[in-house]
């Protein structure tokens, strides 16, 4: 299936590729409430080229909306906000199918919960706790992804609600090329042996790839060190000095690259803790209903114990390096051919597992297996507990630590953002909406929030104290949506939505709190996110 309008999406295709763009184009997104926070989030997804979107909101455009929502205008005052925002968003990208439902999200939750089953992702903005609890329960029944975003004055939060999110292309910032310099296979060793590092020709000498130089240096080191690699700091320094001694001149960049990359010899990529956790997951015991991801993980586990000899599949990529074109292309081909052999081996194991569990051995394509192999070292699995666990359970020690470290900690905003919902449930309005009741509301909010904090921590709050200044600030906000804050929260929400929809990059592992007063963010992991 081809990407629509590849020229239009050229720049983003460079980030998440055809596969990521196709995932966006097949996505059906629902936005609940289209105030500035929701409109900003959906705007970015519409521009990104999602397949379709539906806005659910029963409010009318009011004069005050003109000051914080770019997707309404004077002519739309008194008209349905969902219809107005939908029309403006449609103008940004006419390939997106945009619809609206003029109904309250809360009413729709009660009258027609099946409505939400049709969507790939739901973005819930500016909704209260009780409604979010019901929505989370509905979404989990049908594995619909839920993203919660809220802006409140100068603060806001974002949280993800998904039973399980598996990521193949996590694209870590610190990924290291797997070159297997300390244990080259036959073809790689043969190529290295064919190149003479002692050659007198200065042009050839300065264009021997650093990978070859390190393979040769490692072999020489092992001959004089009982087969072991450099281990101590002194030995590592000696290894680099030995490499430097083979230079013929100061202009040999390949030797500089070899010395700076020497760590690859004694610190090669290994089975990291994140990957090991996935391999040890109970879901690896697959059955006929297991997702393709876990079938491939089960095959990966078998591969590592057999063909991989304790290592993950080779990804087949090599970094840029000083070299002749001929040497570089030959080296690249050697790595690619070895990676292809690993793909073939893993594919055979995938087919055997599929056959064993009673599924079609061809049901997982080779292209999917190849993508999995290429990223096997960095696969991730995140599980988010139900909101009910977070809202109605003791989530204490980590939160208490954060509150005790700094009085004006961002963790305080987490408590107060929940506190204002409890205030609204008790008094049928948010604190601070009436100027002449600010002080009284602040006292009420602090009492409610302290009670809530006591429940969350599971006893006395100890050293954790809610700042009077921040309580007063929350009341001063009066539940307002400030556009600058809404654009930040909406922007982050759309970024997380793209991560979820494309299954690329690693989404937030906890609750993100934005503090517009100090211009900081914190991610609170209040439960165990697998």
Residue 282 DSSP class: G
Query: Does residue 164 lie in a domain region?
Result: yes
CA pair distance 248, 204, nearest whole angstrom: 11
Banded model confidence at residue 264, pLDDT cuts 50, 70, 90: very high
Average pLDDT on 14-41 reads 95
Query: Does residue 39 lie in a domain region?
Result: yes
Which residues on neighbouring strands pair with residue 381, listed in sequence order? 166
Query: Does residue 3 lie in a domain region?
Result: no
Which residues on neighbouring strands pair with residue 169, listed in sequence order? 504
Question: Are residues 160 and 16 located together in one domain of the fold?
Answer: yes
Question: Are residues 251 and 288 located together in one domain of the fold?
Answer: no
Query: Does residue 352 lie in a domain region?
Result: yes
Q: Within a 13 Å sphere around the CA of 424, how many CA atoms are in the beta-carbon half?
A: 19
Question: Are residues 37 and 129 located together in one domain of the fold?
Answer: yes
Question: Are residues 35 and 126 located together in one domain of the fold?
Answer: yes
Query: Does residue 2 lie in a domain region?
Result: no
CA pair distance 420, 445, nearest whole angstrom: 7
- What is the per-residue pLDDT across 185-211, written as a single tens digit (0 to 9) for each? 999 999 999 999 989 999 999 999 999
Q: How far is CA 171 from the centre of its chain?
A: 9
The strand pair at 97-101 and 52-56 is best described as parallel
Question: Are residues 334 and 448 located together in one domain of the fold?
Answer: no
Q: Residue 155 to residues 126, 172, 330, 336: CA-CA distances in angstroms?
A: 12, 29, 55, 49
Which of 129, 161, 121 lies closest to 26 in space, CA to CA? 121
What does the pLDDT read at residue 528? 44
Question: Are residues 304 and 318 located together in one domain of the fold?
Answer: yes
Which of 380, 443, 363, 452 lies closest to 412 in space, CA to CA? 452
Which residues on neighbouring strands pair with residue 522, listed in sequence order? 513
Question: 3-class secondary structure for 33-51?
Answer: CCCHHHHHHHHHHHHHCCC
Query: With contact defined as beta carbons under 8 Å apart, do 36 and 131 qualify?
Result: no
Query: With contact defined as beta carbons under 8 Å apart, do 368 and 503 qualify?
Result: no
For residue 460, is pLDDT > 70? no
Question: 3-class secondary structure for 482-495?
Answer: CHHHHHHHHHHHHH
Where a domain ends, among 266, 287, 315?
266
Q: Within a 13 Å sphere around the CA of 66, how many CA atoms are in the beta-carbon half?
A: 9
Question: Are residues 338 and 377 located together in one domain of the fold?
Answer: yes
What does the pLDDT read at residue 464? 60
pTM of this structure: 0.90
Banded model confidence at residue 530, pLDDT cuts 50, 70, 90: very low
- What is the per-residue pLDDT across 335-361, written as a single tens digit (0 to 9) for each? 999 999 999 999 999 999 999 999 999
Query: With contact defined as beta carbons under 8 Å apart, do 259 and 244 qualify?
Result: yes
Domain total of the chain: 4
Where a domain ends, among 381, 405, 423?
381
Q: What range does the domain containing 255 cover?
A: 186-266
Query: Does residue 339 lie in a domain region?
Result: yes
Question: Are residues 473 and 488 located together in one domain of the fold?
Answer: no
Question: Are residues 428 and 500 located together in one domain of the fold?
Answer: no
Q: CB 36: neighbour CB atoms within 10 A? A: 27
Question: Are residues 54 and 83 located together in one domain of the fold?
Answer: yes
Query: With contact defined as beta carbons under 8 Å apart, do 386 and 139 qualify?
Result: no
Query: Does residue 424 lie in a domain region?
Result: yes
Question: Are residues 36 and 154 located together in one domain of the fold?
Answer: yes
CATH code at position 113: 3.40.50.720
Residue for token pair 């309005």: 429
CA pair distance 372, 370, nearest whole angstrom: 5
What's the chain's average pLDDT? 92
Question: Are residues 286 and 374 located together in one domain of the fold?
Answer: yes
Query: Does residue 430 lie in a domain region?
Result: yes
Where a domain ends, among 381, 407, 425?
381
Banded model confidence at residue 269, pLDDT cuts 50, 70, 90: confident
CA pair distance 31, 201, nearest whole angstrom: 67
């Amino acid at each position: 299936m081809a990407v629509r309008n590849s020229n239009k999406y050229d720049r983003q295709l460079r980030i998440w590729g055809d596969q990521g763009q196709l995932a966006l184009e097949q996505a059906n997104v629902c936005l609940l409430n289209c105030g500035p926070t929701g409109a900003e989030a959906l705007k970015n997804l519409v521009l990104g080229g999602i397949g379709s979107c539906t806005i659910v909101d029963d409010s009318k455009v009011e004069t005050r909306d003109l000051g914080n929502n770019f997707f309404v205008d004077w002519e739309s005052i008194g008209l349905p906000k969902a219809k107005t925002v939908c029309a403006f968003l449609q103008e940004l990208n006419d390939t997106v199918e945009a619809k609206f439902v003029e109904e309250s999200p809360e009413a729709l939750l009660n009258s027609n919960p099946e409505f939400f089953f049709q969507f790939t992702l739901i973005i819930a903005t500016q909704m209260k706790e009780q409604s979010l609890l019901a929505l989370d329960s509905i979404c989990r029944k049908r594995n619909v992804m839920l993203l919660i975003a809220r802006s409140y004055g100068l603060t806001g939060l974002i949280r993800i609600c998904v039973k399980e999110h598996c990521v193949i292309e996590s694209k870590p910032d610190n990924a290291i090329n797997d070159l297997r310099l300390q244990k080259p296979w036959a073809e790689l060793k043969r190529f290295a042996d064919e190149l003479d590092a002692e050659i007198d020709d200065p042009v050839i000498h300065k264009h021997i790839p650093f990978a070859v130089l390190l393979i040769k240096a490692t072999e020489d080191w092992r001959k004089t060190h009982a087969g072991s690699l450099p281990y101590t700091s002194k030995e590592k320094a000696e290894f680099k000095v030995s490499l430097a001694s083979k230079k013929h001149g100061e202009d040999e960049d390949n030797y500089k690259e070899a010395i700076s990359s020497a760590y690859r010899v004694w610190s090669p990529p290994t089975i990291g803790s994140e990957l090991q956790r996935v391999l040890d997951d109970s879901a690896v015991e697959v059955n006929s209903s297991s997702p393709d991801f876990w079938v491939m993980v089960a095959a990966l586990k078998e591969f590592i114990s057999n063909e991989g000899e304790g290592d993950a599949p080779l990804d087949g990529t090599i970094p840029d390096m000083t070299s002749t074109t001929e040497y570089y292309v030959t080296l690249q081909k050697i790595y690619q051919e070895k990676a292809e052999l690993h793909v073939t081996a893993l594919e055979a194991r995938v087919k055997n597992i599929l056959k064993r569990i009673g599924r079609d051995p061809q049901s997982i394509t080779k292209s999917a297996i190849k993508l999995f192999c290429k990223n096997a070292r960095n696969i991730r699995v995140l599980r988010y507990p139900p909101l009910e666990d977070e809202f109605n359970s003791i989530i204490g020690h980590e939160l208490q630590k954060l509150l005790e470290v700094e009085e004006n900690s961002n963790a305080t905003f987490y408590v107060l953002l929940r506190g204002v919902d409890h205030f609204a449930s008790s008094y049928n309005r948010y604190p601070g909406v009436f100027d002449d009741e600010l002080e009284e509301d602040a006292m009420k909010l602090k009492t409610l929030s302290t009670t809530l904090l006591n429940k969350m921590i599971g006893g006395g709050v100890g050293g954790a104290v809610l700042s009077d200044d921040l309580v007063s600030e929350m009341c001063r906000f009066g539940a307002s949506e400030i556009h600058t804050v809404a654009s930040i929260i909406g922007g982050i929400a759309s970024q997380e939505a793209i991560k979820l929809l494309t299954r690329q990059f690693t989404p937030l592992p906890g609750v993100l709190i934005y503090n517009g007063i100090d211009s900081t963010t914190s991610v609170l992991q209040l439960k165990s996110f697998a």
